[in-house]
């Protein structure tokens, strides 16, 4: 059989049992069952066994294994069993967590999965790209990522980047013509598109010929990388910290062991001390707490309309210090309605437009023809600027379907945001006419004639001045103005960009796109949080400034600059002046990347929004690239780190707040874990130096570190954001988590807990050494449970929002401790002394509460 690129359309329709009206929904369902979903098979995942054993490949775990062996050799068989059990439990936990994290990443991925536009049952509709089947009629346009392989049926200047397949970064001009050649390399199959290619320009109608693993990319790639996540900077710095900690612990253990032996302690006892110290010091729960904290954060953000594509972004979000945002649809509602119409006969309110007037009618017809939007039922499909023109046509009594039926499109030059124009070709009144719409300044500079009273005449300077003044007046009311023009082409032929000159000016249409209600408060939040909001838009400077002023982005002393001005400014100059500029108007996508760089060179962490196909480089350059879930192109979503499912600026600010909160929670839980461990270390060191008996056994320490300490640490991660977080300046991403303040708090709090633990130890020692250890263990455990409340935030507990998890954590931890103390069956395992009485328990509770009391009183005093 002939190759796909050699066959005629009719043959293909027959073979794929389809037509230009597409498949029926029912047929598509059946085909989906037969061919399977349109996605690549994922790479082989790590199996459970592998993940389980990987949990043991950690220096700290190795230290624990050595401790278990030593414990066995020195006769503490229970200790060995407990340590081994704990290690196995820990590994199981780690394994479960690994797969849960993988699953949650997958669900995030599914949320950001692409859609495809198809024709089914004769109607244009959007379906998830995974549901595409061979035989579907796929509609591609600039900004899409082709979701399947297909043969081009209709081509409108389609340009495609196939670098994913061919490695060739140049755009390829596609065509719909047959190619009569049997052997043809991929790059030369000009009438085909391949899954994974980026559509950089134009539009095409394509017959899907291959989906899923049947595509060219499926054949080469065969396996897609699975949802594995690289470690985030925080995770890496903590891994690094753990490694250093391991060496320090080992060194101290050796010293303590040497000290014991030198003092004449029995070898076995000296070893026990060393083991206890190692176990006390190792923060076993640390890495899982960080991962859980990040995961909780991403889930919460997803619920609040911000889909994070990788955990790394959660951390960077908290550091964002400048947000460069698009205007249309992000700061504004993107609900455009036509307000005013201008022709040479004057400006008219939208309500008073008269279709019988030839000039008004011509303007409406041009707006409908030079337009890719559609209205189907209540749904508006396509660019809101364009659907607004269709709604306007209906409002004046017309119907876009009739107009488009009367004057079918013969050719086109699609809109692009660099050129800011769009043109289409039609037969109208016996003439072949090109209709053009676009930004007024651009279109006007290409006009040499103007329509007046049904005739065309040369445009004069006076006309130009009048139109410019009118555009200015409409824009300064915050209206978005489009200009319309036409040109006789003479014959039906392919349009080129050269055609978009010597146009005849028809008129202006101004539409209103009101700011979102949330924008002004969100901008105020940004400013309070030390984050600079900047507006970057393709719209007119006057329109942009009016809206920026209204929502608070453009303030006294700030500047608004046009893209054209940027052309004359060097990168160095831009770097020096970037902080003065709050509004960039009429920019092209390549300006965006310069603006981001300029901010970054000033040391800022930049978030940047983008929706178009050309925005991808700027989104990649930004520290946090943000794509629009509703209106964004697939290419932009691909390049972004975060996707807004509601396209809303306020969601970005909320996400930054959440990012800060995640970091604060993780930091607080680290503080909680490390200060508790420090208390354990100090106590062991103290007793070892004074030659006192061992205060805790390894089993007791593991009980605290793994069980009772994990709960409050988890609860801290569930802490909700408070308004406080937006009162601070953004965090410096280079700043280590162990700041001086942090270490100071750590030492003070760990010290306090150690002091009460040592007091409890002495109280018990008065009776017998066994009781001393039991009292020290119970006090350390309970004091750390209380300390969980201190670590919820830096405010006093009375000034924090409610967090039921923290009470739950305390209750469960307390119950676990009490069962160990009170059930005699557990006494042997945990080395609990039988002499423990109710009085002792009261003493334990009293002592354990003291550090928290002191810390809270200090906060109350300071708060006042």
The nearer residue to ligand ATP, 420 or 840, going by C-beta atoms, is: 420
Q: Are 486 and 437 in contact (CB under 8 A)?
A: no
> For residues 287-306, b (16+ Cβ closer than 10 Å) or e, as one string?
bbbbbbbbbbbbebbbeebb
44: left (phi over 0), alpha (psi -120 to 50) or beta: beta
Quote the CA–CA distance of 146 and 20 in Å, as a whole number.
Answer: 19
Residues carrying an active site annotation: 326
Instruction: Classify the C-alpha dihedral 485-487-493-497 as positive or negative.
Output: negative
Tokens coding 68: 């278990």
Answer yes or no: are the C-beta atoms of 500 and 413 closer than 8 Å.
yes
CB of 622 to ligand ATP, least distance (A): 15
Tell me how far, at minimum, the Cβ of 544 lies from ligand ATP, in Å. Answer: 8
Nearer to ligand ATP, 484 or 786 (CB): 484
Mind spelling out the 3-state secondary structure of 572-593?
Answer: HHHHHHHHHEEEEECCCHHHHH
User: Judged by CB, which is closer to ligand ATP: 373, or 851?
Assistant: 373
CB of 406 to ligand ATP, least distance (A): 21
Nearer to ligand ATP, 435 or 678 (CB): 435
Nearer to ligand ATP, 357 or 559 (CB): 559
Rounded-to-integer distance, Cα 439 and Cα 540, Å: 8
User: Would you state the structure tokens that stand for residue 828, as one six-digit string?
Assistant: 């042997």
Minimum CB separation of residue 286 from ligand ATP in Å reads 44
Give 419 or 827: the residue with its C-beta nearer to ligand ATP: 419
In whole angstroms, how close is the CB of 245 to ligand ATP at the nearest point? 49
Instruction: For residue 193, list its beta bridge partners.
Output: 150
Q: What residue number has its CB nearest to ligand ATP? A: 538
Determine the Cα–Cα distance for residues 358 and 387; give it in Å rounded to an integer: 22
Q: Which is nearer to ligand ATP, 216 or 416 (CB)?
A: 416
CB of residue 480 to ligand ATP, shortest distance in Å: 6
* CB-based burial, 512-548: b 16+ in 10 Å, e otherwise: bbebbebbbebbebbeebebbbbbbbbbbbbbbbbbb
* 515's tokens: 């700011």
Tokens of 571: 């990168």
Other CB atoms within 10 Å distance of the CB of residue 165? 18
Pairing verdict, β 137-141 and 198-210: antiparallel
Q: Cβ closer to ligand ATP: 105 or 548?
A: 548
Least CB distance to ligand ATP at residue 124 (A): 17
Q: What is the length of the chain? A: 864
Per the DSSP assignment, residues forming a β-bridge with 346 are: 343
Nearest to 271 by CA among 56, 69, 61: 69
| Tokens standing for residue 767 | 């009776």
CB of 612 to ligand ATP, least distance (A): 7
3-state SS class at 622: coil
What are the angstrom distances between the C-alpha of 594 and each of 526, 571, 584, 597?
A: 22, 7, 12, 5
Contact residues: ligand ATP, CB under 6 A: 326-328, 383, 385-386, 415, 417, 420, 422, 437-439, 482, 537-539
Please report how close the Cβ of residue 500 comes to ligand ATP at its closest, in angstroms.
11
> For residues 548 and 752, which CB has a smaller minimum distance to ligand ATP in the complex?
548
């Amino acid at each position: 059989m002939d190759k796909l690129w050699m066959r005629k359309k009719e043959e293909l329709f027959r073979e794929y049992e389809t037509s230009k009206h597409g498949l029926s929904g029912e047929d598509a369902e059946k085909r989906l069952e037969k061919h399977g979903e349109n996605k690549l098979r994922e790479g082989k995942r790590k199996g459970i066994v592998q993940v389980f054993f990987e949990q043991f490949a950690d220096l700290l775990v190795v230290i624990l294994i050595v401790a278990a062996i030593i414990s066995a050799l020195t006769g503490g068989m229970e200790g060995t069993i407990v340590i081994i059990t704990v290690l196995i439990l820990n590994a199981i936990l780690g394994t479960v967590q690994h797969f849960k994290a993988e699953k949650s990443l997958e669900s995030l991925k599914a949320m950001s999965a692409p859609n495809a536009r198809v024709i089914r049952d004769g109607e244009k509709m959007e379906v998830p790209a995974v549901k595409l089947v061979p035989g579907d009629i796929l509609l591609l346009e600039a900004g899409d990522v082709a979701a399947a392989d297909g043969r081009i049926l209709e081509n409108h200047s389609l340009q495609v980047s196939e670098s994913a397949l061919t490695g060739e970064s140049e755009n390829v001009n596609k065509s719909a013509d047959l190619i009569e050649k049997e052997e043809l390399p991929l790059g030369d199959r000009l009438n085909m598109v391949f899954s994974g290619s980026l559509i950089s320009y134009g539009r095409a109608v394509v017959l899907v010929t291959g989906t899923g693993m049947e595509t060219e990319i499926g054949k080469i790639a065969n396996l897609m990388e699975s949802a594995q996540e690289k470690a985030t900077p925080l995770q890496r710095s903590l891994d690094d910290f753990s490694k250093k900690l391991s060496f320090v612990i080992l060194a101290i253990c050796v010293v303590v062991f040497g000290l014991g032996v030198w003092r004449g302690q029995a070898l076995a006892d000296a070893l026990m001390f060393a083991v206890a110290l190692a176990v006390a010091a190792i923060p076993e729960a640390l890495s899982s707490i960080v991962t859980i904290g990040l995961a909780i954060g991403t889930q919460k953000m997803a619920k609040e309309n911000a889909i994070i594509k990788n955990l790394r972004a959660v951390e960077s979000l908290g550091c964002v210090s400048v947000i460069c945002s698009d205007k249309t649809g992000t700061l504004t509602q993107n609900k455009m309605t036509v307000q005013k119409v201008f022709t040479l006969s004057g400006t008219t309110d939208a309500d008073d437009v008269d279709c019988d007037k030839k000039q008004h009618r011509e303007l409406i017809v041009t707006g409908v023809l030079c337009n890719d939007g559609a209205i189907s039922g209540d749904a508006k499909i396509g660019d809101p600027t364009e659907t607004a023109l269709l709604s306007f046509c209906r409002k004046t009594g017309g119907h876009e379907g009739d107009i488009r039926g009367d004057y079918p499109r013969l050719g086109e030059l699609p809109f692009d945001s660099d050129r800011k124009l769009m043109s289409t070709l039609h037969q109208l009144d016996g003439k072949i006419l090109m209709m053009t719409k676009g930004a007024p300044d651009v279109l006007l500079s290409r006009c040499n004639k103007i329509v007046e009273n049904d005739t065309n005449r040369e445009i004069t300077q006076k006309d130009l001045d009048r139109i410019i003044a009118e555009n200015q007046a409409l824009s300064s009311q915050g209206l978005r103005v489009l200009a319309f023009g036409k040109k006789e082409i003479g014959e039906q032929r392919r349009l080129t960009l050269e055609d978009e000159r010597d146009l005849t000016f028809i008129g202006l249409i101004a539409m209103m796109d009101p700011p979102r209600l949330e924008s002004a408060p969100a901008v105020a939040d940004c400013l309070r949080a030390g984050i600079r909001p900047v507006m970057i838009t393709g719209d007119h400077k006057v329109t942009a400034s009016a809206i920026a002023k209204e929502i608070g982005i453009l303030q006294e002393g700030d500047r608004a600059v046009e893209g054209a001005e940027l052309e004359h400014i060097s990168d160095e100059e831009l770097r020096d002046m970037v902080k003065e500029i709050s509004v960039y108007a009429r920019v092209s996508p390549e300006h965006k990347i310069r603006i981001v760089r300029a901010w970054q060179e000033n040391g800022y962490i930049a978030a940047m929004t983008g929706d178009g196909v050309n925005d991808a480089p700027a989104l990649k350059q930004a520290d946090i690239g943000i794509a629009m879930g509703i209106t964004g192109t697939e290419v932009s979503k691909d390049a972004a780190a975060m996707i807004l499912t509601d396209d809303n600026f306020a969601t970005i600010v909320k996400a930054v707040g959440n990012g800060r909160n995640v970091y604060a929670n993780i930091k607080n839980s680290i503080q909680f874990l490390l200060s508790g461990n420090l208390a354990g270390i100090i106590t062991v060191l103290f007793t070892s130096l004074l030659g006192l008996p061992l205060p805790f056994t390894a089993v007791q320490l593991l009980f605290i570190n793994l069980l009772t300490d994990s709960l409050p640490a988890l609860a801290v991660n569930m802490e909700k954001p408070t308004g406080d977080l937006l009162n601070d300046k953004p965090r410096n991403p280079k700043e280590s988590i162990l700041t001086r303040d942090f270490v100071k708090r750590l030492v003070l709090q760990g010290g306090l807990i150690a002091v009460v633990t040592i007091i409890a130890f002495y109280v018990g020692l008065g009776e017998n050494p066994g009781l001393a250890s039991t009292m020290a263990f119970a006090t350390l455990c309970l004091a750390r449970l209380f300390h969980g409340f201190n670590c919820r935030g830096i405010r006093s507990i009375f000034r924090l929002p409610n967090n039921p998890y923290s009470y739950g954590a305390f209750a469960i931890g307390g119950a676990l401790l009490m069962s160990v103390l009170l059930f005699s069956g557990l006494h042997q395992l945990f080395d609990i002394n039988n002499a423990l009485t109710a009085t002792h328990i009261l003493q334990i509770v009293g002592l354990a509460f003291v550090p928290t009391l002191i810390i809270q009183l200090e906060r109350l005093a300071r708060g006042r």
